Amino acid sequence: MKIDGNQLRTGMIIEYQGKLWRVANYKHVRTGMGRAYLQVELKDIKTGTKLNDRFRSEEAVERVQLDSRKYQYLFADEHSYTFMDTETFDQIVLDKSVIDDEQARFLKDGMEVTIESYEEKPISMQLPDTVILQVTEADAVVKRQTASSSYKPALLENGLRVLVPPHIETGTLIVVNTAEATYVERAKD
């Protein structure tokens, strides 16, 4: 489906220069004498390389429609990840090259994810917006620090380090934003 160059938005998949790209970021730019354009950061679906390019409103861009299905994460081995379709209970095995290391560290047994396919070939995985992880290590609270302005480093069960408020202790469950790998809130009991 063709769309105008100024209609690109974060998360869209386009076919450009013979490859599939995900729009990672975009910004509207207006020059003094010239016409406005969209400055777009693209990420190659297969290799992960990035490309910055400009798109004007009169340029047509091919938007790719992906098939999205919900899957449940089962387990990983040294070369692949195994998921189960939540509707048909069929299993699918994805090579480790399909899922980048940043996403893989958030995978937990039983987690529901969305796997996107193009021409029946899985090309990417989308994590939930947030996950609940346990704090395995947290620095001690320094007296007289205020909770509103200070944060301390904490190590989570998946090896990720995030900054958390002083009241978070070892063993606490917290909500983490998967896109930015940041603390959101203490998990509700």
pLDDT digits (tens, 9 = 90+) for 31-79: 877 788 889 999 888 777 899 999 988 888 998 888 889 999 999 998 8
> Rounded distance, CA 44 to CA 21, Å?
5
Over residues 108-114, the mean pLDDT reads 93
Fold of 2-63: SH3 type barrels. (2.30.30)
- CATH level 3 topology of 130-186: OB fold (Dihydrolipoamide Acetyltransferase, E2P) (2.40.50)
Residues of the chain with pLDDT > 90: what percent? 40
* Burial label, 61 (beta-carbon count in 10 A; 0-12, 13-18, 19+): buried
Mean pLDDT of 24-28: 88
In CATH, 67-126 is 2.120.10.30: no
Q: H-type helices in the chain, by residue range? A: 101-104
pTM over the 0.85 mark: no
Which one is predicted more confidently, 4 or 177? 177
Give the position of tokens 């020059």: 31
What is the pLDDT at residue 53? Answer: 92
6 to each of 18, 47, 134, 142, how far by Cα in Å? 20, 25, 42, 50
Average pLDDT, the chain: 87
Q: Is pLDDT of 147 > 60?
A: no
For 184, the token pair is 């959101």
Q: What is the DSSP letter of 102?
A: H
Burial class (CB in 10 A: 0-12, 13-18, 19+), 164: buried
Per domain, the residue ranges of the chain are 2-63, 67-126, 130-186
